[in-house]
Structure 1
Amino acid sequence: MKKVVVLGILLAMFSFTTMNAQDDSSKKEMSTLDKALIGLTFSDADAAAIAQQAIVEMDAANPVADPTSGYAIRLNRLFGKHVSSEGVNLNYKVYLVKDINAFAMADGSVRVFAGLMNIMDDNELLAVIGHEIGHVVNHDTKDAVKAAYKKDVLIDVAKSQSGTINALSKTQVGKLGRAMIDSKHSRKQESQADLFSYDFMKKNGYDVNAVESCLRILQKLSEGGESSFLTKMMSSHPDSGKRADDARKRAVKDGLYKEYVQQKIVNTAPVTPTTKTTTTKTTAKKTATKKK
């Protein structure tokens, strides 16, 4: 009962604090109490609503692969049958950028970068995106939105006329989207997303050894000369080596382990065979005239 009373008092204080913030437009920083209360009242619906706004701005700011692009065709071929997972409706697009990354938003939006598709085969790509879907299903993306929402880039929301997410400007939404991608998940969240990816691969009949393989690729890239390409992936997905070891142990335990051999990577659109016009030659028969 005490907890309910305290919550009611806090919510009342939040309303009062928000009104004061609206009156005092010169105030530059959100108080610690404001940030805590936003976190207290933040729901999955709030996270999804903000993510929907953010993904629109991000899609507009990045080169999105056309449906006829080889990248888009490949992604749709792989994930066309996985538009819904654990009650979450998903939508997929490819960003035609060289960065090695993939991310999922709280509203079910999944974005894959061409740079990632250039270095991973179908099974490895399935494992990576399965991991990102795991973050959505496990509500990790909600926590990421909440963390970004409480940052100073969105202080003005608490001072807006409505005090709601609908008051976000395009600039704020864009900043929020970038902040969500930069947001780091905890080791526990990463481990749970890896487990989701493994189970996703196993349940759908894919090669579970690709989970270890994709993590080994990221591990090698982070240690080698190509580490500069890992602008976001490695910062938000640490300890790839250990996670790869854990994926291998799962496969061994299930009796499914075998050394993974990467398959051919094809990101080009299939060539439509051209129809050749064949000319039928009519052979004229000569009638021989017999002399009588």
Structure 2
Amino acid sequence: MKRIAVTIATWVALSLPLSGCMNQTSVAALGDAFKAATLTDSAAKEMAAQATVQMDKKNPVLPANHPYSRRLAKIVAPFKNEDGLALNFKVYDAKQVNAFAMANGTVRVYRGLLDNFTDDEVRFVIGHEIGHVKLGHSLKAMRTAYATSAVRKGLASQGGLAGQLSASQLGALGEQLVNSKFSRTQETESDTYAVSFMKKHGFDPRAGLSVMQKFYKMDGGKRSILSSHPASKDREEHIENLL
């Protein structure tokens, strides 16, 4: 639920050697940077689909007949196609309290989320993640992740160690998308989307309040002051104002 989009093509161009003869890796870096700036929605979906395959290989996916998978299937039964986006759901057998959605409709829920949240709370979290996709936040995150690969290639052209990581490593791309951060505004917009999502499907949007209360406790009671993304308490107050 946390990713930040940044503009990087110009930085890459400036960071490459200013010589009259650039090597092939430098040219590839610039190409990736400019591709990132204009990455289309369809291209992002294709990349997300490929990254999903690698993520599902790297993470333990519970079978459809597992109790956790059956519970999730019941929770998301009304959400097979949301706002024009065909969704597919799986459970990762991991204790992290987390979930994510990608531009191709992939939604992955970690076992830890199901262990700690009620059905409606899980629905709210899923609505929030879908919000990031539908509001264009995920496309921006994909552009950022793709552009970062250009930086790596640029460093490789100069002998940098970071160049050892390649854009072709789709599993790493997926991990980057899952672990990056959204901005304060994007998180707030997705919370707003999640409230509407719950209302539209006839579920209690007040589940968002209890979600934030639980996150607040997990965060050790921290409240945002200068943070780039809102703390759980601030998000709870925003949700309360929407009810």
TM tier relative to shorter chain: 0.7 to 0.9
Q: Which residue of 1 aligns with 2:177?
A: 180
Larger RCO of the pair (alpha carbons < 8 Å, separation 6+) = 2
Instruction: State percent identity of aligned pairs.
Output: 37
Q: Give the TM-score, by structure 1 length.
A: 0.66
* Structure 2 residue aligned with 1:7: none
Once the 2 structures are TM-superposed, how far is the Cα of residue 28 of structure 1 from its aligned partner?
10
Structure number with bigger Rg: 1
Q: Could you tell me which amino acid in structure 2 is paired with residue 188 of structure 1?
A: T
Structure 1 residue 120 corresponds to structure 2 residue 141: no
Q: Which residue of 2 aligns with 1:24?
A: 24
- Alpha-carbon distance between aligned partners in 1 of 2:32 and 2:200, rounded to the nearest angstrom: 44
Structure 2, unmatched stretches of 5+, are 1-20, 157-165
Residue pair 1:184, 1:236 contacting (<8 A) in 2 also = no
Question: Which deviates more from structure 2 when the two are superposed, residues 138-147 or residues 182-191?
Answer: 182-191
The 1:96–1:34 alpha-carbon spacing in structure 2 relative to 1, beyond 3 Å, is closer
CA distance in 2, matches of 1:114, 1:51: 22
Query: Is this contact kept in 1: 2:29–2:150, CA < 8 A?
Result: no
Counterpart position of 2:141: 144
Structure 1, unpaired ranges of 5+: 1-19, 160-166, 228-234, 252-292
Deviations 1:181-213, CA, capped at 9 Å, x for gaps: 122111111111101100111111111110111
* Partner Cα separation in structure 2 for residue 81 and residue 54 of structure 1: 26
Query: Which residue of 196, 212, 217 corresponds with 2:214?
Result: 217
| Alignment match, 2:161 | none
Displacement of 1:30 after TM fit?
3.2
- Measure how far apart 1:215 and its partner are: 1.1
Distance 1:195 1:203 in 2: 12
Partner of 2:127: 130
CA contact (8 A) 2:209 2:239 kept: yes
Secondary structure at 1:92's aligned position in 2?
A: strand
SS for the counterpart of 1:223 is coil
Q: Does 1:249 align with 2:205?
A: no
Question: Are 2:195 and 2:208, in contact at CA under 8 Å, matched by a contact in 1?
Answer: yes
Query: In 2 relative to 1, CA 238–58 (structure 1 residues): closer, same or farther, beyond 3 Å?
Result: farther
CA contact (8 A) 2:212 2:232 kept: yes
1:111 maps onto 2:112 in alignment: no
Q: SS where residue 111 of structure 1 aligns? A: strand
